[in-house]
Structure 1
Amino acid sequence: MPISTVLSASPDHKLVLSHYEPGEESRAHRHDCWQVSLLLAGGYVEDSLYGSLAVDRVSLSRKPSGFEHQNLFGTAGALILSVHGDAGATPPHRYQVATCSSRQAGQTFLEQAAAEDGRDWGAQHGADRPACIPAWLNEARHRLVEMPRTPIARLARDMERHPSAFARAFRAAFGRTPAQLRQDWRVASAIDRIIRSDLALAEVASASGFADQAHMTRAVTATSGWSPGALRRLLRR
């Protein structure tokens, strides 16, 4: 189940940090407040009247109050920072999901949401992806995270592709290089262990495939905005 903490609150909105565990499912539901959310790490699939949308990069989502949706969270869970507005604040006019260039850019949009700035974000997330991703690329993506210590060049050869051609096709399909996708999954997996396990941080780093705790600390801080220790203090029950 989700673990959440309120980071700040005002009369018309609050800022909430939430972590969803791997494979968690939120059945069809509605919120009684509008929300603007920033996916910091991990991923999910969201189903609504607009169809099914896979979100697994730094992305913003906004939903009017009462918007029905359901979610299935990915194999590394998800860390999400959200602004929740009350009925008296200016709500988003429509459901929208958009990819962000960086965490910092996403947080700027969250600040604008808190200030009731309802500007449009542009294209919907995933609009530039191929309509149908070849089966071999989906298999390659699966192997990247299931075999985190396998060199990417070897994986490319296993898929009978030259490493350069493999990297180009992978980026065209998923918006990231194989190395970046693996690193993003590693960070999300580490965040899950930081929040939901009793492992020492050095053990979390090793279990998540990092060279050492310092390497993990830099990666987690860059991704989330908090150090591993700070995340654990914020979200541990």
Structure 2
Amino acid sequence: MGSSALPGLAGIGRHAPDERLPRHRHAEAYVAVVLGGGYEEAGDAGRFAVRPGMVVVHGCWTAHLDRFGARGAEVLNLPAVPGLAPGVGTIDDPDMAARFAGRDPRAAAAFVAERFRTSSVRHADWPDLLAAALRTDPDLAITPWARSVGLDPASVSRGFARAYGTSPKRFRLEARTRRALAALSGWRGTLADLAADQGFADQAHLARAVAAMTGLPPVRLRAKSVQASGVRCS
């Protein structure tokens, strides 16, 4: 669950036809505006078919894989905008956002935020239903879920990994870890209490999961949240 810096932040990324990017995690929240081509993104928020004029808002420490189409894709990466929640939407003038970005990336990000309209374009086959269930309930037992929808539990892990680039168990752990991170800035008890509250085996289990996702132990992130207005990405 390691993190990586976002390459080309506040710049245009060009991807070749049929290019594949395996599941990876960015250290910073950011906004991606699709200028041309298209791709499928499968990540923590679900799977999306992304086309020109669409915007994907990525939160802190989120992971995803990308499968680019026959035309490849041209994507404008912009800094995160406070208050713009992770998700997928559209804007009516992506080319104007690109022109703004050449002069002032943060102004371009604000332009996108002002014109952002939420769009529901998630896929809805069984891997996506399982991903949604795991996001909602990180304690979900995978075998009973598979049987409840008529699937062979032995095949679920392989099919989910093909769609999302990770196993259901890993996806579940990461969902639990993000939930713990969201609770961390306002938590007033001990980290051991937080670990128990969020379903970790113990404080050490929580610490390993958080460090794997963010590169920092929970105690360091908690100290940052005291100094700033909430937990920051890195």
Structure 2 length-normalised TM: 0.50
Structure 1 length-normalised TM: 0.49
